[in-house]
Amino acid sequence: MTAALRFDPIRLPPECEVLRQEVRAFLAEEIAAGTFDPHKPQREDSDAPEFSRRVGERGWLGMTWPKQYGGHERSFLERYVVTEEMRVANAPTRRFFVADRQSGPVLLKYAPEHIKMDILPRICRGEVCFSIGMSEPNSGSDLFAAKTKATRTDGGFLINGSKIWTTSAHIADYMIAIFRTSPPTKENRRHGLTQFLVDMKSPGIKVNPIAQITGQYEFNEVVFEDVFVPDDHMLGEIDGAWKQATSELAYERSGPERFLETYYVLTELVRALGPNPDIRGAEGIGRLVAQLHTMRRMSVSVAGMLQAGKEPVVEASIVKDIGTIWEQQLPHRVRELAAFVDPDASNHATLDDQLPFAIKTAPKLTIQGGTTEVLRGIIARGLGLR
């Protein structure tokens, strides 16, 4: 066998079911209190800071981290359940999600102790928002073309250049970014990038919002002019960010957020078609549900491998590849299947409201977090083709 792909049928343990009910009850309370409308995926996140704090109070941030940093030492599978329930409810998670999924684990691994003691407990309390500074105007898929420089100065580094497409930079307290500390070498064009923790309140940072085709503002251009970053904010090895960045990928790529971003239109399709759909509608729903169920079984399976301490890089990339393609096609399939439903019927209204937004969202799904093409390159490497 050239490629031994494994997708064992992991089941969520009973404590996850208890937790799931707690999360559902919490979300129902928040909805009842008017914090967010689950039928409005396109909302503006005005109430999100308080929501973040309440999620933190429940112990649902930093769930898998050590207790000494405010974490809860719970399992990846428990975290999985919280993530999917939040996603399915369209809860406003933007403020804490990146910190919880990605930035916290990076700090845990690479930050000096006093920084961990300072920031991680605040993430767990839902008080801090993180952004990720990877992409630059001429460096997206080709991360190693990044040019923004960190130059040595007294007690730290001076940053000059810009980042782009930085989600949440306009509300973020911190950014974890890669900057060029030396030129690439002949032998290794990945060499020379270093990871830093940047305080977004540092003088010299300018955040310019970029409007998206959905009408929302989520990502930004971030310009750095002689921004000072102290030595102890360097994360991990100098010039070695490429090693660090690739090991994070399994966590970033296989979670339920990678196939549930447009899920709401499937629920609304079922509502619009009603209890007795025609054969075309029934078949369409059946196929979409079979695909969703399969995606989820794959994703839970990868979560189980992570919990067991494995590094399922290929499996995780596969989940992101077919997950994002699925969530991208979903609004279009829903549109086709809803075409014969009486538009005057009252159960059609929410779908009419949501579908245009989902269709406009769709193009980004196979781009954010690494494009389909780049992922397929990673899978091909895993298959031994390169």
Partner 1 sequence: MTESDNIVAETAERIFADLADAQTINSGKDGAWKAPLWYALEQAGLPLSWVPEDCDGSGASLAEGFAVLSAAGRFALAVPLAETMLAGWLLAQARIAAPSDTMTVAPAHPKDRITLNADGSLVGRARGVPFAKGARHIAVLAHGADGVAIALVAIAACRIEPGLNLADDPSDTVILNNVTPLALKPAPAGFDQNALMLMGAVARSLQIAGALESMLDVSVGYSNERVAFEKKISKFQAVQHNLAKLAGETSAALAAASSAADAFAHAESFDDALFLEAAAAKIRCAEAAEKGAAIAHQVHGAIGFTQEHILHRFTLRALAWRDDFGSESHWAVELGKLVATRGADELWPLVASR
Judged by the rule CB under 8 A, the positions of this chain that interact with partner 1 are: 1-3, 5-9, 11, 20, 84-85, 88, 263, 266-268, 270-271, 273-277, 279, 281-287, 289-298, 301, 314-315, 318-319, 321-322, 373, 375-377, 379-380, 382-386
- State the minimum distance, in angstroms, from the CB of residue 279 to partner 1: 6
Nearest Cα neighbor of 106 from 246, 221, 223, 229 is: 246
Site for ligand FAD in 146-175 (CB under 6 A): 165-167
How many Cβ atoms from other residues are within 10 Å of residue 291's Cβ? Answer: 17
State the CB neighbour count (10 A cutoff) for residue 212. Answer: 14
With respect to ligand FAD, which residue has the nearer C-beta, 140 or 240?
A: 140
- Tokens 């994360």, residue located: 235
**b/e sequence 237-249, b meaning 16+ C-beta within 10 Å:** eebbbbebbeeeb
- Out of 15, 225, 278, 373, which residue is the one contacting ligand FAD (CB under 6 A)? 373
Phi, psi of 296 (to 5 degrees): -65, -40
Q: Which bin fits 228, alpha (ψ -120 to 50), beta or left (φ > 0)?
A: beta
Q: Which does 371 bind (CB under 5 to 8 A by kind): ligand FAD, partner 1, none?
A: ligand FAD
Q: Which does 219 bind (CB under 5 to 8 A by kind): ligand FAD, partner 1, none?
A: ligand FAD
DSSP state of 103: I
140 binds, among partner 1, ligand FAD, none (CB under 5 to 8 A by kind): ligand FAD
141 is a contact residue toward ligand FAD (CB under 6 A): yes
Pair of tokens at residue 381:
């490497």
CB of 335 to partner 1, least distance (A): 17
Say which entry of ligand FAD, partner 1, none residue 383 contacts (CB below 5 to 8 A, set by partner kind).
partner 1
Whole-angstrom distance, CA of residue 278 vs CA of residue 272:
12
Binding residues for ligand FAD, rule: CB under 6 A, are: 131-135, 140-141, 165-167, 219, 364, 367-368, 370-371, 373-374
